[in-house]
Structure 1
């Protein structure tokens, strides 16, 4: 049965492997293209990519392997993702087999139940936005090694219960940490693995009161949970307390606070539950920047409903821990697996790929609840388990059809973007991505309609970005923008600038390098940036969007020939957190304004910040030194 599910998964996904890159794929994968062309080192790609807390080096290495084997194409990366998806399905199948085998009410049919649940997971359309989103290899690899670590835990814990202490210790203190480390080097989500072990421990390995656990087993478990759960938790809490800005500084660029995020995530998690149990096209998508922020329990009212539902389901799962252990195990697996990306960290509110690992838990909980609710039903002509197999098999078939239909949409950029914009009419990303696609196709009227639709949004941030994108689209199409759109954007400027403003102004600066744009000259764009940053005066200057925007304004002023204003903005951009190219431009402004001493001093600072593994940084430093030497020679002459 599982082999059939694997084949069905390949057939369902295959048409989508030829689809386009998605969202931030290009930004994350460009270093790999540079490596393939000899313009960068593998060390820079793998060890200096800057992704996440631990660098995600293992995931980047597998992405490099995909490009090396099959070329730098979307197909190469997505084929690798599909293969990883099948491996995750296999690891999940084995984990579920061992979990269900410990449920006294399900163990008789553990093999077939686990195969069916793994099939449902493999064929679920919600997972498609992980598999066909190239850089989500990181989420996949993290899930794969987390599942492997949990599988090792089950084998070791069972061996410990049977008295095989040496085998158990080997699994718990060699295999488990090896898989955990591999998971952490793929993506930080793997850090939940020890807590997931505790969930399984509480669900399936509790000792009966009349039985006593051997002292050696108690010591092994104490060392395991102390070393892998308690100590890391204490250390993490200490780091949170001593260096809160490292974890919470990201809220400076978000349109929500920590309490608002926690309230919003309650709605998001319950929305994930609905999408997993009853997937609907309108409820799915990768452009979720239109997900509403919860500003209070009753704003929107669904916040209170979601919080109540989470508490009620959790209380029910706890109450059923002994009578239906798989309900407890599955539900808390789902919650704990969401605990990193759906709790306090200042990440975006909603993404489907966050369910890639947690979905295994929810499916297990549903299976446990189905068995519990039908336990007292008298068997008819067909045993209950056979009815369950038929129902699950039919549902798996329906999911496979839905996944294939979604893969068909993802196979074509136009279909994909149109569906995303239709399903997410309030999404700036979906509508602007559709607009620029339509511009490339020559459909200027449709492009303008997609952007103008955003001007009806009640959200001032959305309207501000719509005006900026209207300027950008006009510059791209005709080179003739409306200056009033820049004035409207300034009027709507928010107390915080975000990555969205950073990206659109970077694109506007790039267009101005290529062609003149009436109504949006370099000086006008720079003035707009400065005016918007003045509104965000209380926002820390060291955050990424702010110093990036300052640097863009400096370059625009330089393009307009005003090197004094360029220098003023470049100085503000040269923050301790800024990268070397920002300082390099400041050096040029100093040299252009005859400030040789400041130029040399800043050059030394730039040299200290250069990434030595990055060809571009090294070559840029050499070129900057040559520029300074030429400038000095010119002054001497």
Structure 2
């Protein structure tokens, strides 16, 4: 019950994409239940019991991995059970089969440790996509894990929990990270030293750290997400529950009631939290206020406000209400940018709203600010989407103060960013640049932008289509054929492109060649 009502874990169910964690846990826990039940069989028939345990755990783990990769950790949980609790669950026998089981369970742990270790990856290689090294992330997570514990077990305000932690900074190696790491080493040492006398405490420590081996170490995922604790905190909940019902002396009679009161307290916070999440507008506003440095929280608040239901409103009032919502959105974005000096997405979104809300000089001032931030600002998916939208505004003359030259300048300001070499960002941004250059009639810049996009993502179909059909439009059949030929020289690339589209381009080039012959 304690585990079920933890507010920290609620996002696992309340955020649709995180339900993969719940599904993976369902299969993995079923595998663990089968594994533990197999001890009774192994007591009588060791070899058959071993086969049963590995089959149950293996099936549960396999299904869990297909739900989410972190399901690979369930054999590690089984190893912790086998290491600490085997006599308590009826597996007190020893012998070759018991040794075989222990070795079998050790293999997944060895694999996971190798997977996250410097033996497999360069811990000091800077990653352009995340903006840090695996070592930076590993040290930052030492602090994050302590914060998870604080959020999980110390009652918090309902607004303390939410989906927006994108602004969580990487922690430099220093007093905070080193102290946090030494704290975990101390806990590990105590857990190992006390594993016989205080086995439930040892289980809580080993279980929590095992649950974070993949998502909270060196693998370059985002730094902070609450749902990562879904299985990790279960061992601590088990420790507290067993402690409450096995307490001795004066605590024996009161400890279960203290635990019950604690559960009620957490349930109250959980209820308030789910009520808040059930009111999207209020939730978005509270998250934005709680996380002023989160660009995602600000953009989410804007999205919720701009997509509020117009049903029941007079048609004539819709335009006025839309303008009022845009004005509110601009206030949210302007408030956020003061707390986030490198949030380019927040500034570009506000810039687009200013096109219809504020005088031209304000829009020009916002463009100038965006140009300043572009050189060092954060490039993300939102920025890419906004560039496409800004291009459409300029094309439709819906933002009179701005021109395609401004859009080119904004994109050129991003060129020095390491994110421009990342496929999901750079190729699309150069694609927009090609559109802007085409609108300005600068053919050479179109080809230069498309060449840069191709260099970053040769498998991007829209880039290839742009190159082929734009070349054919200009009557440059040879250039169109060369664009196709370059992809065909790369087997891994050509296999990723849809055959139907490739055939259509080949046919268009062949037709143009025939028509160009005298």
TM-score range, shorter chain: 0.7 to 0.9
Q: Give 1:174-213 correspondences, 5 Å limit.
A: 174-205=55-86, 213=94
The match for 2:190 is: 316
State whether residues 381 and 425 of structure 2, in contact with CA within 8 Å, keep that contact through their aligned partners in structure 1. Answer: yes
RMSD, aligned α-carbons: 3.4
2:156 pairs with 1:276: no
- Residue 309 of structure 1 and its aligned partner are, at CA, apart by 3.7
The worse-fitting range, judged by mean Cα deviation, of 269-278 and 119-128 is: 119-128
SS class of match (1:494): coil
Match of 2:483 among 595, 602, 612: 602
CA separation of 1:556 and 1:307: change in aligned 2, threshold 3 A: same
Match of 2:14 among 127, 132, 136: 132
The match for 1:354 is: 228
CA separation of 1:466 and 1:332: change in aligned 2, threshold 3 A: same
Gapped regions of structure 1 (runs ≥ 5): 1-118
- Residue 227 of structure 1 and its aligned partner are, at CA, apart by 4.8
Task: Please give the per-residue CA displacement for 1:492-519, whole angstroms capped at 9, x wherever unaligned.
Answer: 3228744453343244335456653223
**When the two structures are aligned, how many residues end up with a matched partner?**
493
- Residue 629 of structure 1 and its aligned partner are, at CA, apart by 5.6
The match for 1:329 is: 203
Match of 1:526 among 408, 419, 423: 408
Task: Please give the per-residue CA displacement for 1:72-131, whole angstroms capped at 9, x wherever unaligned.
Answer: xxxxxxxxxxxxxxxxxxxxxxxxxxxxxxxxxxxxxxxxxxxxxxx2222222222121
- Residue 273 of structure 1 and its aligned partner are, at CA, apart by 0.5
State whether residues 34 and 53 of structure 2, in contact with CA within 8 Å, keep that contact through their aligned partners in structure 1. Answer: yes
Task: Please give the per-residue CA displacement for 1:156-196, whole angstroms capped at 9, x wherever unaligned.
Answer: 34533x14224323323322222211111111101112222
CA separation of 1:555 and 1:628: change in aligned 2, threshold 3 A: farther
The match for 1:295 is: 172
State whether residues 345 and 379 of structure 2, in contact with CA within 8 Å, keep that contact through their aligned partners in structure 1. Answer: no
Q: Give 1:92-491 correspondences, 5 Å limit.
A: 119-160=1-42, 162-205=43-86, 213-222=94-103, 224-225=104-105, 227-230=107-110, 232-233=111-112, 236=115, 241=119, 244=121, 251-280=127-156, 281-298=158-175, 301=176, 303-368=177-242, 374-375=247-248, 377-378=249-250, 383-384=252-253, 387-440=254-307, 442=322, 443-457=325-339, 459-462=340-343, 464-475=344-355, 482-491=363-372
Gapped regions of structure 2 (runs ≥ 5): 309-321
CA separation of 1:560 and 1:475: change in aligned 2, threshold 3 A: farther
State whether residues 584 and 603 of structure 1, in contact with CA within 8 Å, keep that contact through their aligned partners in structure 2. Answer: no
State whether residues 550 and 572 of structure 1, in contact with CA within 8 Å, keep that contact through their aligned partners in structure 2. Answer: yes
2:425 pairs with 1:545: yes
> Hey, what's the Cα distance between the residues in 1 that align with 2:179 and 2:268?
32
State whether residues 414 and 437 of structure 1, in contact with CA within 8 Å, keep that contact through their aligned partners in structure 2. Answer: yes
- Residue 417 of structure 1 and its aligned partner are, at CA, apart by 0.8
SS class of match (1:293): coil
Higher RCO, Cα 8 Å, sep 6+: 1
- Residue 312 of structure 1 and its aligned partner are, at CA, apart by 3.6
Task: Please give the per-residue CA displacement for 1:587-619, whole angstroms capped at 9, x wherever unaligned.
Answer: 23333444322312323555764677x9xx566
SS class of match (1:574): helix
The match for 1:555 is: 435
State whether residues 580 and 606 of structure 1, in contact with CA within 8 Å, keep that contact through their aligned partners in structure 2. Answer: no
State whether residues 469 and 504 of structure 1, in contact with CA within 8 Å, keep that contact through their aligned partners in structure 2. Answer: yes
> Hey, what's the Cα distance between the residues in 2 that align with 1:187 and 1:460?
35
When the two structures are superposed, what TM-score results if normalisation uses the length of structure 2? 0.83
State whether residues 253 and 498 of structure 1, in contact with CA within 8 Å, keep that contact through their aligned partners in structure 2. Answer: no
SS class of match (2:137): helix
State whether residues 164 and 294 of structure 2, in contact with CA within 8 Å, keep that contact through their aligned partners in structure 1. Answer: yes
State whether residues 150 and 176 of structure 1, in contact with CA within 8 Å, keep that contact through their aligned partners in structure 2. Answer: yes
- Residue 288 of structure 1 and its aligned partner are, at CA, apart by 0.7
State whether residues 426 and 456 of structure 2, in contact with CA within 8 Å, keep that contact through their aligned partners in structure 1. Answer: no
CA separation of 1:352 and 1:218: change in aligned 2, threshold 3 A: same
State whether residues 419 and 425 of structure 2, in contact with CA within 8 Å, keep that contact through their aligned partners in structure 1. Answer: no
- Residue 333 of structure 1 and its aligned partner are, at CA, apart by 0.9
The match for 1:8 is: none
- Residue 234 of structure 1 and its aligned partner are, at CA, apart by 7.9
- Structure number with greater Rg is 2
